[in-house]
Amino acid sequence: MGVSTSSPGKGISLVTVDFPPVNALPVAGWSALADAVRAAGRDPRVRCVVLGAEGRGFNAGVDIKEIQTGGRSALLGANRGCAEAFAAVYECEVPVVAAVHGFCLGGGVGLAGNADAIVAAEDAVFGLPELDRGALGAATHLSRLVPQHLMRALYYTSRTVGAAELHRYGSVWRVVRHDRLRAAALELAGEIAAKDGELIRLAKAAINGIDPVDVRRSYRFEQGFTFEAGLSGAGDRVRGAFGNERPPGRRQAPGKEKEGV
């Protein structure tokens, strides 16, 4: 359990998250993930990082129960931890490929949205249930995956969108069977890792430099409203009902329920 790093191929570092039962990360988990991704990117032998997960889904966001019991200090820790983990993916010195299966919610969208490429299993669903969790944030990252008006509708309703639709938008590179996910992600990573190591790092820096949105600053702006909701009591009021709603990934956008993703 936790965050582990392995080397499944030449020039590839695989960072795997495993926090049963649903990969809802505690504060320490977000920090460990940030450290692992940054360390992989600094390794001169690495030319591509694959970010994957074990268990039922890619990521279910923060550990709400930790925030419920830990109060403001836990909320601040989650804010900082998420910001650092998302930034670590975006600022990683080499490209990052996210291998997404099952639910990719809240913080999962922050990670995948900041990745350089996404390979998804057919069962993958993406969404921000923040308003159902007494929080705000990661609209910055969902905006990198779907058009603006769809982002807003998904955000306000806490609904999810499937991998097949994201593939049509071009934000998911490839959709594969669940049992092919790791192999497909490593295949893409291998193609990237075959490039010259110095040039691929320069390419990552150049592409980040022309990005129209400062994702770190944009996300931190959103997080200010999460803390405001905490101070006003609105966050605690909504979080108090946590556990009584549907499981992650059940409510998809209209017309997508029969796609099987």
User: Average of pLDDT values for 180-196?
Assistant: 98
Backbone angles phi, psi at 103, to 5 degrees: -85, 140
* φ/ψ of residue 94, rounded to 5: -125, 165
Q: What mean pLDDT do residues 39-56 have?
A: 98
Mean pLDDT of 116-130: 97
Percent of the chain whose predicted confidence (pLDDT) is above 90: 79
Sequence-distant (6+) residues with CB within 8 A of 86 are 107, 110, 111, 113, 114, 141, 215, 216, 219
The span from the CA of 49 to the CA of 40, in Å, is 7
**Distance from chain centroid for Cα 75:** 18
What is the overall mean pLDDT for the chain? 92
To the question of pTM greater than 0.85 for the whole model, the response is yes
Instruction: Please calculate the CA angle 141-99-57 and round it to the nearest 5 degrees.
Output: 85
- Are 94 and 205 within 8 A, CB to CB? no
**Between the CA of residue 134 and those of 22, 51, 55, 84, 163, what are the distances in Å?**
19, 27, 25, 21, 26
Domains in the chain, start-ordered, CATH in brackets? 2-239 (3.90.226.10)
- Looking at residue 72, its pLDDT comes to 80
Q: What is the sign of the dihedral through the CA atoms of 120, 104, 114 and 141?
A: positive
